[in-house]
Amino acid sequence: RRCRQVMKEFAAEIEKLAEKVLDLLCENLGLELGYLKQAFAGSWGPTFGTKVSSYPPCPRPDMVDGLRAHTDAGGVIMLFQDDQVSGLQLLKDGAWVDVPPMRHAIVVNIGDQLEVITNGRYKSVMHRVLTRPDGNRMSIASFYNPGADAVIFPATALVEEPSEEAERAGSAVYPRFVFEDYMNLYMRHKFEAKEPRFEAMKADAAPIATA
């Protein structure tokens, strides 16, 4: 019971922190404070969940993935890593880079929905977890995501002032869709590149009522 209460309190504080991070992104993008939280809201508000993962020692790490490479589907992810056992890597400029353990630090990751809403100003990050022969790696990941029926699309202000990719395309380079529909696609193609998912949502796009 005590553990449950502690985790509940922990999650509540991390949720508040995630909302502060979203407002920092808004400030950096020139969006009104609260814009991203509202974009996630849908009918019942954003969703939030916390997951505890354990990666036991593996005698053949060259043969077994801890977690295959993927981007996260949702909004912003707050990650407490193990402070002793490494394993998390992210893809940068075509090369895998270690994210070293750091005590009392939170790794902030961007998900696919923020890439869409920011029209590519912020990118979701391909990452993976390697197994290790020595040491059990623990992590606590908290996901601040849109509500199921939230309509996701590039912020108008960021289409009017497009990213380099949007300039090349002439406008918004990302589709408009309902988050639940994207998740249905993501669950089938999680461990594949994100770009075909975005293209599939464009192909399936239909008028969406927002009133």
Joined together, the tokens standing for residue 137 give 């790696």
Between 135 and 71, residue with greater pLDDT? 71
Query: Region 127-142: what's the mean pLDDT?
Result: 90
Distance CA 70, CA 81 (A): 17
Please compute the mean of the pLDDT values over residues 2-21 and round it to a whole number: 92
Could you tell me which residue, 147 or 66, shows the higher pLDDT? Answer: 147
Cα(169)–Cα(112) distance, rounded to whole angstroms?
A: 19
Q: Of the given ranges (18-27, 124-133, 201-210), which has the lowest mean pLDDT?
A: 201-210
In the structure, what pLDDT confidence band is assigned to residue 129 with cuts at 50, 70 and 90? very high
Domain map of the chain by residue range? 1-204
Please tell me the predicted confidence (pLDDT) of residue 172. Answer: 63
Q: 211 pLDDT band (50/70/90 cuts)?
A: very low
Taking residue 60's Cβ as centre, other Cβ atoms within 10 Å add up to 8
At residue 76, the pLDDT reads 97
The pLDDT, as a whole number, for residue 168 is 52
Between 202 and 183, where is the model more confident? 183
| Cβ proximity of 152 and 182 under 8 Å | yes
pLDDT digits (tens, 9 = 90+) for 34-66: 999 999 999 999 999 999 988 888 898 888 888
| CATH of region 1-204 | 2.60.120.330
Question: How high is the mean pLDDT of the chain?
Answer: 89
> Quick one: pLDDT band at residue 78, thresholds 50, 70, 90?
very high
Q: How far is CA 97 from CA 54, 88, 94, 128, in A?
A: 21, 9, 9, 10
Residue 150 scores a pLDDT above 50: yes
pLDDT tens by residue, 155-177: 999 997 555 655 554 456 899 99
Residue 83: pLDDT band by 50, 70, 90 thresholds?
confident
Distances (CA, A) of 123 to 13, 73, 76, 85, 144: 25, 12, 11, 27, 16
Mean pLDDT of 95-111: 92
Per-residue pLDDT at 9: 92
Predicted local distance difference test score (pLDDT) of residue 64 = 86
Percent of the chain with pLDDT strictly greater than 70: 91
